[in-house]
Amino acid sequence: MGTLEKEWIEIQGYKHDGGMHRIWDSAYCLVDNDKYFAVCSKKVKVIEHDFRIRYTKEPAIMIFFKDSWFNVLAMFKKTGITYYVNLASPYIIENKKLKYIDYDLDLKLYPNNEIKIIDVKEYGFNKKKYNYGDDIEKILKFNVKKIKLMMENRTFPFNEEDMNDLYKTFLSQNKKEGK
At residue 28, what are phi and psi to the nearest 5 degrees? -95, 125
- Asked if residues 126 and 15 have their Cβ atoms less than 8 Å apart, the reply is yes
- Phi-psi region at 16: left, alpha or beta (left = phi > 0; alpha = psi -120 to 50): alpha
Average pLDDT of span 167-175: 91
For 26-41, write each residue's pLDDT tens digit.
999 999 999 999 999 9
Question: Given the DSSP bridges, would you call strands 92-94 and 97-109 parallel, antiparallel or unpaired?
Answer: antiparallel
| DSSP labels, 97-111 | EEEEEEEEEEEEE-T
CATH architecture of 8-162: Beta Barrel (2.40)
Confidence band, pLDDT 50/70/90 cuts, at residue 71: very high
Bridge partners of 161? none
pLDDT band at 3 (very low <50, low <70, confident <90, very high): confident
Return d(Cα 59, Cα 163) in angstroms, integer.
11
Q: Quick: pLDDT tens for 74-127.
A: 999 999 999 999 999 999 999 999 999 999 999 999 999 999 999 999 999 999
Q: Where are the domains of the chain?
A: 8-162
The question of whether 22 is a catalytic residue gets the answer: yes
Q: Supply the pLDDT for residue 1.
A: 46
- The tens digit of pLDDT for each residue in 118-170 reads 999 999 999 999 999 999 999 999 999 999 999 999 999 999 999 999 999 99
Residue 10 φ/ψ, nearest 5 degrees: -105, 145
Given the residues 22, 52, 54, 154, the one annotated as active site? 22
DSSP class per residue in 132-150: -HHHHHHHHHHHHHHHHHH
Q: Which residue has the higher pLDDT, 164 or 43?
A: 164
Write down the pLDDT at residue 175: 79
